[in-house]
Structure 1
Amino acid sequence: MKKILPFLFVLLHTVTFSQEDAWVYFNDKPNAQTYLSNPLSMLSQRALDRRAAQNIAVDIQDVPIHQNYIDQITAVPGISVMAKSKWMNALHIRGTQSVINGLTTLSFVHHVDFANKTLNTNKNTNTAASGLFNKTLDVQTNFPYGASAAQIQMLNGHLLHQQDFTGTGKIIAVMDAGFPGVDTTDPFLRLRTNNQIKGGYNFVNRNANFYTGFQHGTQVLSNMAAYVDNQLVGTAPDASYYLFVTEDINSESPLEESLWVEAAETADSLGVDVINSSLGYNLFTNAAYNHTYQDMDGNTTFITRGANIAFTRGMIVVVSAGNEGAKPWKFITAPADATNVLTVGAVSASEVRAGFSSQGPTADGRIKPDVMAMGAASVVTTQTGEIGYNNGTSFSAPTLAGLVACLWQALPNKTNAQLVQIIKESADRYTNPDNFYGYGIPDFQQALNTALSTASFAVNGFNLYPNPTAGTITITSPDNTVARFVLYNSLGQEIMKKNISSLQEETISLESFTSGIYCYTIVSGEATFSGKLIKK
């Protein structure tokens, strides 16, 4: 996150680097079967439910590192264990080069990987597998957005809010540099009053005080969660949040990548749905650790590999593209290069790319950023509760991440991969992407409409089509089934009821209804199936 405090390099130029950062990777997890036979010993029920909903199996990467391995490494004189990753089966360690190299003599050590790549003698590559409760509709939500209207309306997020998709039931984890003021200031009062902060952790200081550090995290969170009438409304004001401090503002170190991965693993275990990260890494305080553009290939840096694994666990990871567009580096930073993260660049209120917004492609030629959102003169709140403006992809990412949660609330049966694809397809440059705008600016109302516009809806033998419809719908039901179709308007009021027989197709006219989105239920015995219906 050097772009936030560039003067750190001047302040820290006298630091010496006798100690090296490295990762030590292990061969196996001897007690894996014990954990795999009891998934609740490593993942919460909510995490398991998220996996089950997407047909994602618990696997060896979910199993913790063998404690005996950790103990033996910790006991080696001159070695400091700084972080750990069960997904990678690795520890982030610090020590002299000779002591770290000596670890390779241990039978359970697969290899070590120095952050300073010139010190690596092995040719190992560490690849990470990659893959691809609704509120009662009794009122429409029309928030007093004030100056923040532009950043929400650009994405048609206000239309989701009007349908009461405001993030309820979804959990977002925020990885950042600190969250001072979130526990005291008025813009987050609604968040606190409704108990939407589920918890957090300060991985940098290894304590539970996450309401400290640099206010960058506070500002990022405000794009999603703050609420001040007629000034600032976040994009997911009713979502719940975990706040994780992973960025050490005092220096730029590869350790921060490891802390990020450790936080992502924690988020996974807690059942988080969406991760927002407005952090990016390319250059470090110790220049020997610097990444190169060639490292931005989607599978090289530690943090990027961690982000890829997070996606395979069923979460959606939203990251800022970086603020390097006008600098010599100019390209995206890690983990924005990860294959399956939603990488977000920044545009102005007039939908023109901000000059600072990092560009693509990735080193292996993929389109990045993926999408754009408002990051120039974005409305935020500071640690003192003051409402103001700030610039950066740091703010376009959370603005979009909040709406990802809202869209997932509206489409709870979609997988993370399906939702990411739907969002990309809704963007205004989807058919003609480039490496400045990616696929363009998403339209979240269009994304919702597209998801509801499948050729037919079929659940337990019931079929409803077409959706959207210009005037009529047809419903078929399984044999020997009698059911009831009930249609509701946006206020939750019943406006139609029809009995459905399995002996014939039931054609229902909606000609008399105005265009819009309606809710329906199909009641059959004790089973009830619900959905959305679009009238053109």
Structure 2
Amino acid sequence: MKKLYFLLILVVANFGYAQIEDAWVYFNDKPSSATFLANPLTMLTQRSLDRRTAQNISLDITDVPVEQTYITQITAATGITVMAKSKWLNALHIRGTQADIQALTALSFVNNVKFANHSLNPGGRISQNANKIQAVNKNLDAQVTYNYGGSQNQIEMLNGHLLHQQNFTGQGKIIAVLDAGFPGVNTAAPFQNLITNNKILGGYNFPDANTNYFSRNNHGTNVLSTMGGFVEGQLVGTAPNSQYYLFITEDVNSENPVEESYWVEAAELADYYGVDVINSSLGYLNYDNTNYSYQYDDMIGNKTFASRGVNMAFSKGIVVVISAGNSGATVEPHIATPGDAIGALTIGAVNSTEVYASFSSIGPSFDGRVKPDVCAKGAGTTVSSPTGTIYTSNGTSFSSPVIAGMIATFWSAVPTLTAQQVVNFVKQSADNYNAPTNQKGYGIPDFQLALNNALGLEPIEPNQSFLVYPNPAENQITFQLEKKQKGIVYLYDVLGQNILIKEISENNNVIDIQNLSNGVYYYNFESDKAFKGKIIKK
């Protein structure tokens, strides 16, 4: 009997050793880095390089692709399937047996492997009871037919309508949406403004490894509609004139860490294309294999694969907007990853009266940082279905893109800001900035206040004789000069296009702007002294 018992243990142990696992294999180096860094257009588009230049961000080895010879050798290794890759983290997401994965450490270029199954890693923890924590609800819906003007409240709550009135609607900015699918975007009426004006620039379907991104789950369609949707009198997105890339990274049929790897790979592709903002209404805490699941003490901002990807994206000059999650009313109410990321602008949910929505995941992060960062309407948010039906839905899935669209709209008004400055101005404009809470973080942003604060970056010195007034102005602006001073004024729009050149002097110092569209403009005054600034046409 003892021999039979020992044999049973041996069989069970071998079975565990032979079952398929997910893991990441990390490499030591990038042997081709010098060649790529000397030829940056081989790894990034000009728009991506321009974004870095504008924000004074240098290229480095993380911009270099994963060494192709390493990918080839890992792909050819016994029992290994390559699922995804990340140049930022210099790693591949792989599947195979524990034995086959561990065998990769014998390769000279492999630094280490990390199993998604925490118990297989050195010092790994024992998995938690699968019933202890409820699964993260990424798409908490309560649909109600809403026939007229439903998006007004979600935009006015943020004073976004004031920016729209100034003709800021996200133009010149690109948003990447990382989600579960976008069926109907190419056919439904609320998205025809995007389709007709070629504002959908492309995308990729990572689970199916193809370019059919107008497919799969409708969650991404709902999300996109809060930013780019447009049906006059029913739904106006927060950034209807931004451009968009659509990436499917989520497989709703299962929960597996490969979705984190898809997420990071999509963020890298978004960076390659030069996007300005990423919205992701996704979160990860529990997986089908509970050995892969996270706990609250993992939410420290830079531990998970996805949170490290967010931090890298932000370091490249991209504002990364992440939903906090919908676990606020569960036994584990805290934010999921990558909402814990240090570089994430994490968004909670409130209702139409700005009261905290009980389903919205709370903070702080485990290491004590304010999370969520800010809030927007996520209870009763107006969205579009794949067929064009306008209705309301609940979830931080929708408060996140409402903010992401406003970020693009705000940034289109002050395009010279860095990603860090954008995030700072948005946080500082929020109503709880001086007394953040675990439920609402810094509170609800005021994007008009953020814009006013941003325009004050270059204040006129009190004793300075050069002055531009009134500002804002409706019909004309006056340049106050020193006696006998004269020079040339160059006026530029938010895209940097020169729209006016005029010579002015002490007695000829008025410029007519009544025919200009409402919005922000930039002036350069060139004389023996040079001045730069911004004016608002209202």
1:394 aligned residue: 397
When residues 35 and 184 of structure 1 are mapped into structure 2, their CA distance, relative to the original with a 3 A threshold, is same
When residues 464 and 57 of structure 1 are mapped into structure 2, their CA distance, relative to the original with a 3 A threshold, is farther
2:488 aligned residue: 483
SS in 2 for 1:104: helix
Deviations 1:224-267 (A, max 9, x none): 01111111111000000000000011100000000000000000
1:435 Cα deviation after fit = 1.1
TM-score of the pair, normalised by structure 1: 0.84
1:89 aligned residue: 90
| Larger-Rg structure | 2
Q: 1:247 aligns with which of 237, 243, 250?
A: 250
When residues 483 and 343 of structure 1 are mapped into structure 2, their CA distance, relative to the original with a 3 A threshold, is same
Taking the aligned partners of 2:150 and 2:428, their CA distance within structure 1 comes to 28
Structure 1 residue 176 corresponds to structure 2 residue 179: yes
1:235 aligned residue: 238
When residues 122 and 175 of structure 1 are mapped into structure 2, their CA distance, relative to the original with a 3 A threshold, is same
Q: 1:371 aligns with which of 352, 369, 374?
A: 374
Code of the aligned partner of 1:482:
G
Taking the aligned partners of 2:481 and 2:25, their CA distance within structure 1 comes to 59
Taking the aligned partners of 2:373 and 2:93, their CA distance within structure 1 comes to 30
SS in 1 for 2:251: coil
1:115 aligned residue: 116
SS in 2 for 1:147: coil
Deviations 1:445-481 (A, max 9, x none): 11001111235269xx9965799689x987669x997
Code of the aligned partner of 1:295:
D
1:146 Cα deviation after fit = 1.3
SS in 2 for 1:174: strand
Deviations 1:95-121 (A, max 9, x none): 111111111111100000001111012
Q: Is the 8 A contact 1:487 1:496 kept in 2?
A: no
When residues 438 and 18 of structure 1 are mapped into structure 2, their CA distance, relative to the original with a 3 A threshold, is same
When residues 469 and 204 of structure 1 are mapped into structure 2, their CA distance, relative to the original with a 3 A threshold, is closer
1:384 aligned residue: 387
1:341 Cα deviation after fit = 1.2
Taking the aligned partners of 1:289 and 1:395, their CA distance within structure 2 comes to 27
2:444 aligned residue: 441
1:188 aligned residue: 191
Taking the aligned partners of 2:338 and 2:505, their CA distance within structure 1 comes to 51
1:73 aligned residue: 74
Taking the aligned partners of 2:459 and 2:330, their CA distance within structure 1 comes to 49
1:353 Cα deviation after fit = 0.6
Q: Is the 8 A contact 1:273 1:316 kept in 2?
A: yes
Q: Is the 8 A contact 2:168 2:410 kept in 1?
A: yes
Deviations 1:466-525 (A, max 9, x none): 99689x987669x9972348899xxxxx99988246xx9x99999xxxxx9775634548
Code of the aligned partner of 2:280:
S
Q: Is the 8 A contact 1:145 1:233 kept in 2?
A: no
Deviations 1:60-82 (A, max 9, x none): 00000111111111111100000
Code of the aligned partner of 1:437:
K
When residues 152 and 122 of structure 1 are mapped into structure 2, their CA distance, relative to the original with a 3 A threshold, is same
1:187 Cα deviation after fit = 1.0
Structure 1 residue 64 corresponds to structure 2 residue 65: yes
Structure 1 residue 151 corresponds to structure 2 residue 141: no
Q: Is the 8 A contact 2:66 2:90 kept in 1?
A: yes
TM-score of the pair, normalised by structure 2: 0.83
1:329 Cα deviation after fit = 1.3
Taking the aligned partners of 1:424 and 1:163, their CA distance within structure 2 comes to 22
When residues 417 and 518 of structure 1 are mapped into structure 2, their CA distance, relative to the original with a 3 A threshold, is closer
Segments of 5+ residues of structure 2 without an aligned counterpart are 1-16, 125-146, 494-498, 513-517
1:521 aligned residue: 523
Percent of aligned positions with the same letter in both sequences?
A: 54
Deviations 1:10-50 (A, max 9, x none): xxxxxx99210000000000010000000000000000000
SS in 1 for 2:151: helix
When residues 462 and 54 of structure 1 are mapped into structure 2, their CA distance, relative to the original with a 3 A threshold, is farther
1:204 Cα deviation after fit = 0.8
Q: Is the 8 A contact 1:467 1:533 kept in 2?
A: no
Code of the aligned partner of 1:107:
S
> After superposition, where does 1:332-371 map in structure 2 within 5 Å?
332-371=335-374
Taking the aligned partners of 1:82 and 1:463, their CA distance within structure 2 comes to 61
Taking the aligned partners of 2:233 and 2:67, their CA distance within structure 1 comes to 53
Code of the aligned partner of 1:40:
L
Taking the aligned partners of 1:57 and 1:336, their CA distance within structure 2 comes to 26
Taking the aligned partners of 1:487 and 1:193, their CA distance within structure 2 comes to 28
Q: Is the 8 A contact 2:487 2:503 kept in 1?
A: no
